Chain A
């Protein structure tokens, strides 16, 4: 039966959430979207209904959140709360109805990225965990771990430039984007390592080829599907 981080959402009964929630975490360019595409096809082929969700996709605030990020006008705390609004909107309107209907929900990142980002920016751990205390604990969290140096190469290959937020430029580590990117990604990785035990992640080595990562992920997901 599904559990919540601390308290259930007021209107949700855990026993009616029959589907599976599988979360893929990892930085940009770690291969999340490629893997999710492959997993969706694979699951559907096996006859499982699939719904994909991710951050910044809510109808409610996604556009406004995008604007705020572009303008870089909100404080870290305000941004954290804005992201929380976006998350709960999807939790209540996409994830929970899908789980009720027995779908497999593949989440392209979840609260863990949001918590790590906020903590690196100085948020009190207790505060950020309280915000997400009504989030559902996933059936499986797979963290695609990529070393920062590999990540840089992949990012250049795909986008020819580094992203402002993924480089942590708002934190003022360095005026140099490359230096800042490496430092920020190392910190994020460290934070995920810290969360690994507490939230029971499985860390997947994603320095490998997409194909071998794919094989690895499928094996782990199969275990969860067969276990029920």
Chain B
């Protein structure tokens, strides 16, 4: 077996990685939050990791976005840097320590978003090849019109990069957002087959979706293994 070094931390992963993915407005964050609260309430070893939350790289990302100084390649790389930091600092150690880790967005967000920006998808896959494939990837599927309606009614202030304005899809920020999200949705759908996403209909009642996801988790994972020691 290969010796472990700073790069290759391949010792056994006892935990389970659960990922939620979907376009903006698919309701995935709500679902991830509810899954987390569920496991927490049952006194299981569980950890919640949000996209884009590492301190060190954040400053540079903010600066780049503010000045609109990012190209598709540096945009992708700076997010990969950020992800690697969070992955190696939190996600991987937690998985090794035997936690259930719930990720609100994972490498598939980068695959979809950056390939729509024009990065080579094969390159992106190699770039992120250090990250393990999740045990379950819930994909919250919502028709484009529904997702846009949810976002545009709730939060009318669209951000430049979120709306894909750097792609020159349209001068109108709302129109650009719609086209951009549509392209991302299509990419998700093709990733879905390849990475065996568990698709959940995001137009259904929130409680119904949650019950379904919990049932799937119980079927696929022996949850009792993750009970905290000393818990009743």
Contacts and interface: CB of A to CB of B under 8 A. Distances in A.
Interface in B51-109: 56-57, 59-60, 63-64, 69-74, 77-78, 80-81, 84-85, 88-89
A77 B84 contact: yes
Contacts of A73: 56
A78 B84 contact: yes
A191 interface: no
A195 interface: no
B73 A130 contact: no
Interface in A62-91: 63-64, 67-68, 73-78, 81-82, 84-85, 88-89
B7 A130 contact: no
A216 interface: no
Nearest to B64: A60
B73 A81 contact: no
Contact of B6 (A61, A68, A75, A82): A75
A122 B85 contact: no
A123 B73 contact: no
A138 B119 CA distance: 23
A59 interface: yes
Interface residues of B, number: 32
A150 interface: no
B73 A9 contact: yes
B156 interface: no
A85 B127 contact: no
Contacts of B155: none
B57 A59 contact: no
B157 interface: no
A127 interface: yes
Contacts of A124: 7-8
Contacts of A130: 123, 126-127, 129
Nearest to A58: B74
A77 B88 contact: yes
A56 to B, nearest CB: 13
A79 to B, nearest CB: 9
A76 B119 contact: no
Interface of B is mostly: helix
B190 to A, nearest CB: 19
A7 B73 CA distance: 13
B72 A81 contact: no
B127 A76 contact: no
B118 interface: yes
Contacts of B89: 75
Given A60-B70, A74-B85, A122-B5, A84 B123 contact: no
A61 B63 CA distance: 9
Interface centre among A82, A85, A88 (most CB of B within 10 A): A85
B30 interface: no
Contacts of B127: 130-131
A48 B7 CA distance: 43
Given A7-B120, A77-B130, A134-B73, A64 B88 contact: no
Contacts of B88: 75, 77-78
A11 B120 CA distance: 12
B72 A60 contact: no
**8 closest A-B pairs (Cβ-Cβ)?**
A122-B5, A122-B7, A130-B126, A81-B81, A85-B77, A64-B60, A78-B85, A75-B88
Given A60-B74, A61-B64, A127-B130, 20 more contacts: A11-B118, A60-B60, A60-B69, A60-B78, A61-B60, A63-B60, A64-B59, A75-B88, A75-B89, A78-B85, A81-B77, A88-B73, A88-B77, A118-B7, A122-B7, A124-B7, A127-B126, A130-B123, A130-B127, A130-B129
15 contacts: A7-B123, A60-B64, A64-B57, A64-B60, A67-B56, A78-B85, A81-B77, A81-B80, A85-B78, A92-B71, A122-B6, A124-B7, A130-B126, A130-B129, A133-B123
